Amino acid sequence: MLTADDVVKSYAAKDAAAPVLRGVSLAIEPGQFVCVVGRSGSGKSTLLNILSSLLSPDAGSVRYQGRDLAAMSEAERNRLRATDFSMVFQMHHLLPYLTARENVLTPFLSGLRPVSAARRKRAMECLDRMGLADMAQRLPGALSGGERQRVAIARALVTEPRIVFADEPTGSLDGDTGRQIMDILTGLNAEGLTVVMVTHEPAYAAMASRVITMRDGHILAAA
Ligand code: ADP
Ligand code: MG
């Protein structure tokens, strides 16, 4: 479904002779729940951002359903992010002046075209799915940290993606709330959604169908 082949990446601000990713290859199959673990600075976020098309590799390639992301136009990559890929980050990144429901609708906003009734309904269904139906009209400031992250997940789901990429989605939450987010992600995965998640939490990695350990820009061979 999604493959990386010998991906190398360095940042201009860092020593190009010491890449952050030094030849990473992996293949993610539909329906997997992949956790990426490893020390801070080992390249986990960089790998996730390259897999999700937000960053491009310096060498090597990433293919989605057989198509090289680098060979796509920017418009095609944008479309991919609007349809097949979604992201959830450590911070919720909700817009503070929009309600929960309006935040969930933001992936559909383009120009001045109104959002269709079907999409508005879908946004409510996603909020309902996250247990937030009666908080749809609240601003993010009136929600708890876990509720905000659930709005962010609803926003990721509203486009009916095939893969959700999540970079430490529980990293800013307490244990109980983090566990709730994990239950949501594992539940979505059980329904067929492919999940690729970075986490520091061994207990959460243990819930994944597959664990990838990064060290110094490499994937450690599976134990
Ligand atoms: P992780 O998510 O495992 O903590 P990252 O992929 O964020 O690791 O970072 C890997 C290395 O790349 C770190 O040394 C980090 O400081 C560096 N790095 C990350 N992003 C940038 C950037 N935009 N510019 C320069 N260096 C960066
Ligand atoms: Mg990171």
Q: Which atom of ligand 1 is nearest to the CA of 214?
A: 3
Ranges of each domain in the chain: 31-53+84-222
Question: Hey, what are 109's tokens?
Answer: 């906003």
Average pLDDT over residues 89-95: 92
The model's confidence at residue 114, banded by pLDDT at 50, 70 and 90, is confident
- Cβ-proximal residues to 178 (8 Å cutoff; 6+ apart), any chain: 170, 201, 204
Q: What is the model's pLDDT at position 222?
A: 60
Is 31-53+84-222 CATH 3.40.50.720? no
Q: Is the CB of 45 under 6 A from ligand 1?
A: yes
pLDDT at site 18:
80
Ligand nearest to the CA of 213: 1
Range 141-163 average pLDDT? 95
Q: What pLDDT score was predicted for residue 20? A: 94
User: pLDDT tens digits for 175-209?
Assistant: 899 999 999 999 999 999 999 999 988 899 999 99
pLDDT at position 223: 47
> Is the CB of residue 152 below 6 angstroms from any atom belonging to ligand 1?
no
Tens of pLDDT, residues 16-51: 678 999 999 999 999 999 999 999 999 999 999 999
